Chain A
Amino acid sequence: MSLSPRRAHAAAWAGGIVLVAAAWGVMAITPGDEFADQPFVVDAQIGEHAQARQMQITMLEVQKATHVENEHGWYADGAWVLVAFEGEARGTEDGSSLSRLRLRIGDREYLPSERVGSRAHPDGQLRVGLPETMTAAFEIDPDDAEKRAVLDLGHLKDDRLDSAIRLDIDLAALDAVDSAKVPDRRWSE
């Protein structure tokens, strides 16, 4: 059985349209370049070890405060998010510095405040077998204090193809305390 010329014509058109649509579909679902580079995300939970390639982090506590002070007499008011954690290097101290430590709220990205002083600021090298406890203090826009935040932590500023330890924080679920302490970075007990 053979199609009439008219039918064959229509079938060719329909086939062409289907192929174009299929090509568009393949384009639409093909992941972009960044897909192949994305970090290996490690979801952290309070009180549990989170292991990245070069480090092991244990999130200890998340606080929201309207007033913070360090151990040396400095204090400040504002909207603050304090994340206390314990960290140590795994296997080697090469590549165990905590260069990426940021709090993402929506499109915004905050860095730990340098106002707390260098002794309390949590950046720097982690040690093998010697866990340290430290606190990242983020001073944020008060308008962001009731939103969802993600703490992102890792070895390099560039997180492509590397481990990224992330902690989801629901700021609305936290009660702001009147005063919180930002302790110095210290060896864990």
Chain B
Amino acid sequence: MNDAKPAAAETDAATRRTPASWMRVAAKAVPAKWVTVAGLTLFLGATAAFGGLADAPAAAEKPLARLEPGDVHGTGQLEVSFTRAVLIDELPGSGTTPLFEGGERVLVVTGTLHNATDAPLPSLSFARGQLVVDGLPEKRPDGGAVEASTARLDDATLHPVIQPGLSVEVAFTWPVPADLLHADDELHVTIADLTWFDPSWLSDQPGYWTTPAVPAAELDLVIEDVGAGVEEEQAG
């Protein structure tokens, strides 16, 4: 370019006079590709000077939070904690009726649910969608599905709705084969959080919690066996 310049200056002396006119000539003479490559090189060089581009964060498996009995886990909606795991022959009022002929008993997990949102939340959908107890069979002896039931510990209201800002002690119950679990076994419980979906970039609808429920916390509860459970029947 330096070679070309004097020649250009001879043909048109005015092109040299102002920076603007020089730029015009240069812009015509330099191919666009060079400008692009030079700009990119400058950008990458500058980036490298500051340590280069970082790797895109990998969608790493989030390690499960390890809870002790009584520890509180916030799902974003409910703040939950679990205290006891109990085996009992039957627990009337809990929503779970064991099939005695099928050799069933009732597994009870007690805990507290606190609603941290502004809208009522059903305890049953939490129990059936976000609470997983390892080792339970899928089917009952009569072919029905093994599903959780919930009941308040204080007045045995079945499948209570947790109103905003309130805490409720709840008994979660499942029908289990009598020989499946024993006293002093460890019951492994996983709590999953729903996913917050915010469609604000598509519409002016408010966001909401939806599936998938992603496992977020786990805890082990030592099982107590209370037999016929005369004490527990008061709670039910």
Given pairs A115-B152, A115-B160, A141-B164, 13 additional interface contacts (CB within 8 A) = A32-B204, A74-B155, A78-B166, A108-B119, A108-B165, A109-B164, A110-B163, A115-B157, A138-B163, A140-B163, A140-B165, A141-B165, A141-B166
Asked if B227 lies at the interface with its beta carbon under 8 angstroms from chain A, I say no
Query: Which residues of A from 1 to 52 have beta carbons under 8 Å from B?
Result: 32-33
Asked if A144 lies at the interface with its beta carbon under 8 angstroms from chain B, I say yes
Quick one: CB contact mask for A74-118 with B, threshold 8 Å, 1 for yes? 101010000000000000000000000000001111110111000
Closest chain B residue, CB of each to CB of A78: B166
CB-defined contacts of B71 to chain A, threshold 8 Å: none
CB-defined contacts of B155 to chain A, threshold 8 Å: 74, 76, 115
Query: Which residues of B from 108 to 162 have beta carbons under 8 Å from A?
Result: 118-120, 152, 154-155, 157, 160-161
Query: Which residues of A from 134 to 151 have beta carbons under 8 Å from B?
Result: 138-141, 143-144
The 3 closest A-B pairs by CB, nearest first: A141-B165, A108-B164, A108-B118
Kindly state the separation between the CA atoms of A106 and B161 in the bound complex, as whole angstroms: 20
Q: Which of A106, A107, A110, A114 contacts B157 (CB 8 A)?
A: A114
Kindly state the separation between the CA atoms of A141 and B162 in the bound complex, as whole angstroms: 11
Kindly state the separation between the CA atoms of A4 and B198 in the bound complex, as whole angstroms: 55
Query: Which residues of B from 161 to 213 have beta carbons under 8 Å from A?
Result: 161, 163-166, 204
Query: Which residues of B from 24 to 68 have beta carbons under 8 Å from A?
Result: none
CB distance from B134 to the nearest CB of A (A): 31
Closest chain B residue, CB of each to CB of A76: B155
User: What is the predominant secondary structure among interface residues of chain A facing chain B?
Assistant: mixed
Closest chain A residue, CB of each to CB of B158: A114
CB-defined contacts of A32 to chain B, threshold 8 Å: 204
CB distance from B163 to the nearest CB of A (A): 5
9 sample A-B contacts, Cβ–Cβ < 8 Å, listed by A number: A76-B155, A107-B118, A108-B118, A109-B119, A111-B161, A111-B163, A139-B166, A143-B165, A144-B165
User: What is the predominant secondary structure among interface residues of chain B facing chain A?
Assistant: loop
CB distance from B82 to the nearest CB of A (A): 22
CB-defined contacts of A111 to chain B, threshold 8 Å: 120, 161, 163
CB distance from B135 to the nearest CB of A (A): 32
CB-defined contacts of B157 to chain A, threshold 8 Å: 114-115
Q: Are A113 and B165 in contact (CB under 8 A)?
A: no
Closest chain B residue, CB of each to CB of A111: B120
CB distance from B23 to the nearest CB of A (A): 27
CB distance from B18 to the nearest CB of A (A): 25
CB-defined contacts of B161 to chain A, threshold 8 Å: 111, 113-114
Kindly state the separation between the CA atoms of A73 and B154 in the bound complex, as whole angstroms: 13
Kindly state the separation between the CA atoms of A140 and B164 in the bound complex, as whole angstroms: 7
Kindly state the separation between the CA atoms of A139 and B119 in the bound complex, as whole angstroms: 13
Kindly state the separation between the CA atoms of A110 and B166 in the bound complex, as whole angstroms: 11
Quick one: CB contact mask for B86-124 with A, threshold 8 Å, 1 for yes? 000000000000000000000000000000001110000
Closest chain B residue, CB of each to CB of A144: B165
CB-defined contacts of B152 to chain A, threshold 8 Å: 115
With A76-B154, A76-B155, A107-B118 known to touch, is A113 a contact of B204 (CB < 8 Å)? no
Kindly state the separation between the CA atoms of A138 and B161 in the bound complex, as whole angstroms: 12
CB-defined contacts of A113 to chain B, threshold 8 Å: 161, 163
Kindly state the separation between the CA atoms of A114 and B161 in the bound complex, as whole angstroms: 8
Closest chain B residue, CB of each to CB of A79: B166
CB-defined contacts of B163 to chain A, threshold 8 Å: 110-111, 113, 138-141
Q: Which of B154, B160, B164, B204 contacts A110 (CB 8 A)?
A: B164
Closest chain A residue, CB of each to CB of B154: A76
Closest chain A residue, CB of each to CB of B117: A108
CB-defined contacts of B166 to chain A, threshold 8 Å: 78, 139-141
